[in-house]
């Protein structure tokens, strides 16, 4: 977006990050603008890439994915082409909920959702291998979701 977000844009984004299914009328009333203005603002935020997608957030336990792992991945060789290859591989995996290139001892941090330990083990055996330029990986398993979200609060 070329222009900085104003207070109305931020208010709209805060509302939609909590519930993207809110009717335009409700959004407009909350931010004190007309329905047409709210619709135009949302369309501009979408067109400029500020809003990248609208999704439903699913409780993994209620859909049979009871294991969530945070995986720190250290690459065997650190060069652009190998890292891009790994990123493309992770993007193609349905079990990988997030993939971040990070600083520190690891090169990537993954958030992986699995049905159970056997499912996760199969994921690691198939994908976190030397053939995919992985030197080492460390898994930490989520015991409880104290807070899990995607909202970036804008003030």
CA atoms of 114 and 69, how far apart (whole Å): 8
Report the pLDDT value the prediction gives residue 148, as an integer from 0 to 100: 85
* Contact yes or no for 95/114 (Cβ under 8 A): yes
* Contact yes or no for 32/38 (Cβ under 8 A): no
Q: How far is CA 88 from CA 85, 91, 132, 147, in A?
A: 5, 5, 11, 28
pLDDT at 1 over 70: no
The pTM of the full predicted model, rounded to 2 decimals, is 0.85
CA atoms of 48 and 88, how far apart (whole Å): 24
| Residue partners of 23: CB distance under 8 A and separation at least 6 | none
46-99 per-position pLDDT tens digit: 999 999 999 999 999 999 999 999 999 999 998 999 999 999 999 999 999 999
CA atoms of 3 and 152, how far apart (whole Å): 19
CA atoms of 142 and 68, how far apart (whole Å): 5
129-146 per-position pLDDT tens digit: 999 999 999 999 999 988
Report the pLDDT value the prediction gives residue 52, as an integer from 0 to 100: 95
Q: How many CB atoms lie under 10 A from the CB of residue 134?
A: 19
pLDDT class of 2 with cuts at 50, 70, 90 = low
């Amino acid at each position: 977006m070329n222009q900085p977000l104003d207070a109305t844009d931020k208010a709209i984004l805060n509302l939609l990050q909590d519930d993207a299914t809110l009717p335009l009328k409700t959004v407009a009333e909350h931010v004190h603008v007309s329905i047409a203005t709210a619709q135009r603002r949302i369309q501009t935020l979408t067109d400029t890439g500020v809003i990248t997608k609208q999704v439903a957030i699913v409780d993994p336990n209620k859909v049979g994915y009871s294991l969530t792992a945070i995986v720190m991945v250290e690459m065997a060789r650190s060069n652009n082409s190998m890292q891009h290859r790994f990123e493309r591989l992770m993007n193609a995996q349905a079990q990988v909920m997030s993939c971040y290139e990070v600083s520190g001892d690891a090169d990537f941090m993954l958030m992986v959702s699995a049905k159970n330990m056997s499912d996760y083990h199969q994921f690691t055996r198939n994908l976190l291998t030397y053939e995919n330029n992985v030197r080492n990986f460390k898994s930490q398993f989520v015991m409880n979701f104290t807070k899990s979200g995607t909202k970036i609060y804008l003030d």
